[in-house]
């Protein structure tokens, strides 16, 4: 039985943080499966990691996988950094708690019983599948925020808001 899989992932957040989505394409032989999801408030980083986790969950233990992403955090993290973070109590090089530890831990578990080649693909480079999953990730970012000087951004967990506008030359700090 052929256990070779090809996975393409992407994540998106409007406003970063903001409404966010992720998408992945999983190819096994002639079978192609597209998956996607969204959350009301997240970051691009979390969505990139989520896309990889969800795609890898679809593969069996012992599978050989080529996972391609434009996320340097995901690819470099899994190739070089995650073992250091784990060894130092899930802290980054500045001593702060690593964000999205639960996703990194799950990626490590999925990586342990699969042979995965973590490959970085330059974003917006015309790579086959890259544009498609990018569009899907953006499409799944729900409730696109209003744009303009008077738009308000509400954080769903805290219920607070702040005006969302660009600073202009001459604006005074208050």
pLDDT at 2: 80
pLDDT at 123: 80
pLDDT reading at 72 higher than 70: yes
Mean pLDDT over all residues of the chain? Answer: 81
pLDDT at 100: 97
Q: Which pair of structure tokens corresponds to residue 142?
A: 């729900």
84 or 140, which is more confident: 84
Per-residue model confidence as pLDDT tens digits over 75-119? 999 999 999 999 999 998 899 999 999 999 999 999 999 999 999
Task: Look up the pTM and report it.
Answer: 0.74
Q: How far apart are CA 26 and CA 116, in angstroms?
A: 13
pLDDT at 139: 65
Q: 4-147 architecture in CATH?
A: 2-Layer Sandwich (3.30)
Q: What is the 3-state secondary structure (H, E, C) of 63-116?
A: CEEEEEECCHHHHHHHHHHHHHHHHCCCECCCCCECCCHHHHHHHHHHHHCCEE
Residue with tokens 């509400």: 154
- The DSSP string of 4-70 is EEEEEEEEEESSSSEEEEEEEEEEETTEEEEEEEEEEEE-HHHHHHHHHHHHHHTSPTT-EEEEEES
pLDDT reading at 152 higher than 60: no
Per-residue model confidence as pLDDT tens digits over 50-67? 999 999 999 999 999 999
- Beta-bridged to residue 153, according to DSSP, are 162
Q: What is the pLDDT confidence band of residue 24, given thresholds at 50, 70 and 90? A: very high
pLDDT at 165: 36
């Amino acid at each position: 039985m052929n256990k070779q899989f090809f996975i393409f992932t992407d994540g998106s957040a409007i406003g970063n943080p903001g409404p966010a989505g992720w998408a992945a394409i999983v190819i096994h032989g002639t079978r192609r499966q597209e998956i996607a999801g969204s959350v009301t408030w997240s970051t691009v980083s979390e969505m990139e990691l989520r896309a990889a986790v969800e795609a890898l969950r679809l593969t069996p233990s012992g599978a050989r996988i080529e996972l391609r992403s434009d996320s340097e955090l995901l690819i470099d993290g899994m190739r070089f950094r995650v073992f250091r973070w784990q060894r130092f109590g899930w802290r980054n090089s500045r001593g702060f708690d690593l964000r999205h530890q639960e996703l990194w831990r799950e990626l490590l578990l999925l990586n342990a019983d699969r042979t995965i080649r973590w490959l970085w693909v330059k974003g917006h480079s015309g790579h086959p599948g890259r544009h498609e999953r990018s569009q899907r990730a953006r499409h799944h970012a729900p409730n696109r925020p209003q744009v303009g000087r008077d738009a308000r951004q509400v954080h769903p967990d805290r219920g607070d808001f702040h005006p969302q506008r660009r600073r202009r030359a001459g604006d005074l700090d208050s």
